[in-house]
Chain A
Amino acid sequence: MIKYRLRPNVVVKIERRLHYPRKLSVLSTILSILIAFGVAGAALTILGADALIAYSQIIAVFITPSLLIETIKYAIPIGFAALGLNIAFRMNFWNIGAEGQIYLGMFASTGIVLLHVYYGMFPEYFVLPMMIVTSFIAGGAWCALPSFLKAKMKVNEILTTLMMNYIAIYFVDYLIYGPWRDPKGFGFPLSIPFPEYAKLTLIFGESTYLGSILFIAMATLVYCILKYTKLGFELKIVGESLDTARYAGTNLTKVITLGGFLSGGFAGLGGLTIVSGIIGRLRPRASAGYGYTAIIVTLLSTLNPWLIIPTSIFFGGLFVAGNTLQVTLNIPGATIEMLQALIFLFILFGELFKRYKITILTGGGKPEP
């Protein structure tokens, strides 16, 4: 509990709510989204744009088929990363490194393609499955390292995972400016274009479809792991209380490392869906911060794998809507970024009010010591 004394007789008390009624929870989420849109609308009106048109454009993104397909395309990597974070956050492991794990996933899937194309390894039909497996392992290993360090030596995972993002990003930069550059690409920093059988467009034409199927399968898997397996149970206990977990005889190192591995692995799959679904080749800075957006998505989806689906689609839509809004409202691009940031901000505010009880005590009582 934190207390702030504004004036001698006004005290603001911030208390963590131990549990909160469902009604309050629903109300605060709705309210925060409403306020977010309200404030964003007011800002637009000040800039001379019509807020109603802005709202209708945002909705249009979710109901126009071609735009919805694009929306889901961006939602998929966000969703995969969020799926991984879901596991990490459940065991109170603050993985800020989904972005780096995404890059490792992109690295591994591109590596498989290059091994196949340059050295003829693996038959064609085996390439995509191999990419899925290796991108999971690569992303997982990238996260297993900080989680192992945390379990063994109590190294703060927020720092390690965040710092490892930069290593991953620059590592991919190096490969693309160096050995992995397409020899026929006129020297531009791009890998070779992936062959058709290495792309998620393989089956249904749009990468969105195969990506969605893959995502739903993985979400089911995560749900089952968390709900029905011993590991899922142990992850939860670890998240609740380390002492309890230790008392119950849990092998902490194993559980935390494994949890980190799974967490990074799903982010790695997200990386696969970027190179193999959105871009069709590897290039520097291929992820537009999806790993960071995934953090908000995870927090909003209450650590429920299924809720990640609508939430990540909502955020994917905000990305697409940004561009649509620019041309419709004729406002500078920076305004759109401000708008998106406002929405993020208010959603987080909503979280704060939900999790903490804020009371203002006035008058009467003597100032407490």
Chain B
Amino acid sequence: MDERSLNKKLSRRDFLGITKTAAIGGVVAAGVIGGVAGYVAGTGAAPAPLTVTKTTTEVKEVTRTVPEPVKPLKVGYIYVGPIGDYGWSYGHDRGRRWADERFGKPVESIYMESVPEAEVGGAITSLIEKGVDLVFTTSFGYMDPTAEAAAKYPDKHFVHISGYRSGAAGNAPENMSAAFAEFYQLYYLNGLAAGAVTETGVVGYVGAYPIPEVVRHINAFVLGANYAYKKRTGKNIKAHVSWIFEWVAPEKARAAAIALVEEKNCDVLAFTEDTPAVLQVAEEYQKKGRRVWSFSHYSDMKEYGPTAHLTGQIANWGPIYLEFYRMVATNSWQSVDIWTRIGDYMPWRWRLPEEKSTAGKPEGTVYLAPLNPVIPSEWQREIKRRYEEMKELLFEPFSVEGNLGEPIRDQDGEVRIKVGERADHDMLWSMDWHVEYIEERLPR
């Protein structure tokens, strides 16, 4: 009795006043109800592929001569954004469908979108529980949890996109590979197009995060722009960079793009943000009669800016995914670190003459978006020549050849790439300096 009245007093004071039993009761009730539902659903929840196996098993029991039915390969993908972003995650989903179609054997691929980087461990475990054999994690922040999962599930296979940990590199288990479709060569070609059309001599870049990948893309773009602009006018290009610290943020990208045009007088805008927002800004200026240009990023975005679209960088992750499908299906897994550039996974990896160039057509894993006829024809030819040369790695943007024979200097005037040198793996991967033509310092 005393205890009860005490309880009463306590609960009155308690500003929320749910009693212990309430919450326990709630959780238990949810459990019970869910359990019942789970039982009911569990009986009816047999996934579709099982029915196929079922029928063949019956046949096997009767005749005992039918060979083991082909078990479909189960693949799981984890995306950091929504597949409707029209950029990064959408690109991966296109790659998934491409690989599924070309695989030619039964394959069942499932994906999870908008998985926060902090929650990827749980997402991987869920996929493993679903019985997948191969997991693709497609964001840099997924790298460590992927390596942990690889250690925990040694009989499953893991591919991490855009990181540096793999069995091949020796810093992850052997059942983990790394892969990336690299754009810096294409950004250089975009730069050539930018330098060829700019009237103000100022180009802008809307950057996502100041990480080496984005920094080297900016540098490549600006080197290309300077190459074309200096050849045309004899003057150095001026470049401005605006950071938005987001991957998917169309509103921020929009604001940054407008600021670059209005305040810095940029008339060509490149970007790393996963939506066509920057291209749309350029198109709006075109409609208002101001000549501002932009590009495609990861997917062909031409329809978002039919006038303003110069060219751009497009990725098809499909061939990379297909390669891993085949490895797992044929038990020929080998941990690899794949870094595809122009030429890789192209049916014909050799240089073609300019007039037969495939620049602007889909091929391989990274390729150029269609070239806008507004680019002067001599520069179209130059872009095609460089594109073809890079199929055989005969030309490297990060070399003096890419900078009109001049050594490549950073903003402090320090020579980073001397005559006869090319950027190597470590320089490309840890680039933390801007080329001299960029006005803003790299945030630190």
Contact = CB atoms under 8 A, between A and B. Distances in A.
Interface of A: 18-20, 22, 25-26, 28-30, 32-34, 37, 50, 52-53, 55-56, 58-60, 62, 64, 66-67, 69-71, 73-74, 89, 92, 173, 177-178, 186-189, 193, 236, 239-240, 274, 278-281, 283, 285-288, 299-304, 306-307, 310-311, 314, 319-320, 323-324, 326-328, 330, 332-334, 337, 351, 354-355
B429 interface: yes
B34 A26 contact: no
A30 B34 CA distance: 12
Given A30-B25, A59-B38, 15 more contacts: A19-B11, A55-B34, A56-B41, A62-B31, A64-B129, A70-B121, A71-B122, A186-B430, A187-B212, A278-B121, A314-B27, A323-B115, A326-B112, A327-B76, A332-B83
A37 B122 contact: no
A307 B113 contact: no
The secondary-structure label for the interface of chain A is helix
A193 B29 CA distance: 42
Interface stretch (B16-24, B282-290, B400-408): B16-24
The secondary-structure label for the interface of chain B is helix
Q: Which of B19, B44, B111 has the most CB of A within 10 A?
A: B19
B37 A52 contact: yes
Contact of B31 (A18, A29, A59, A333): A59
B16 A29 contact: no
B141 interface: yes
B420 to A, nearest CB: 25
23 contacts: A20-B17, A22-B21, A30-B26, A30-B30, A52-B40, A53-B44, A70-B125, A73-B121, A173-B245, A186-B429, A193-B144, A239-B13, A278-B118, A278-B121, A280-B148, A288-B118, A300-B18, A300-B26, A302-B22, A323-B122, A326-B112, A355-B16, A355-B17
Contact of B125 (A66, A189, A239, A280): A66
Q: Which of A18, A64, A327 has the most CB of B within 10 A?
A: A327
Contacts of B231: none
Contacts of B76: 327
Q: Which of B8, B13, B38 has the most CB of A within 10 A?
A: B38
A14 B140 CA distance: 51
B130 interface: yes
A283 B115 contact: no
Given A56-B45, A283-B141, A302 B23 contact: yes
Contact of A333 (B114, B144, B164): B114
Contact of A187 (B119, B141, B211): B211
Contacts, number: 210
Nearest to A307: B23
B128 A66 contact: yes
Contacts of B432: 187
B241 to A, nearest CB: 15
Given A22-B21, A26-B22, A177-B444, A302 B122 contact: no
Contact of A60 (B38, B119, B123, B429): B38
Contact of A351 (B18, B27, B130): B18
A51 B195 CA distance: 56
Contacts of A34: 29-30, 33
A145 to B, nearest CB: 24
B210 A334 contact: no
A189 B8 CA distance: 53
Nearest to B162: A188
A25 B22 contact: yes
Given A187-B212, A286-B118, A323-B123, A66 B129 contact: yes
B23 A300 contact: yes
A187 B431 contact: yes
B122 A311 contact: no
Nearest to A73: B121
B12 interface: yes
B215 interface: yes
A281 B143 CA distance: 12
B86 interface: no
B396 to A, nearest CB: 19
B360 interface: no
A286 B45 CA distance: 36
B142 to A, nearest CB: 11
A67 B119 contact: no
B14 interface: yes
B233 interface: no
Given A29-B23, A37-B30, A71-B122, A327 B41 contact: no
A173 B210 CA distance: 12
A306 B19 CA distance: 12
B16 A299 contact: yes
A355 B380 CA distance: 72
A332 B82 contact: yes
Q: Which of A22, A33, A67, A332 has the most CB of B within 10 A?
A: A22
A19 B212 contact: no
Contact of A189 (B11, B39, B112, B211): B211
A285 B122 CA distance: 17
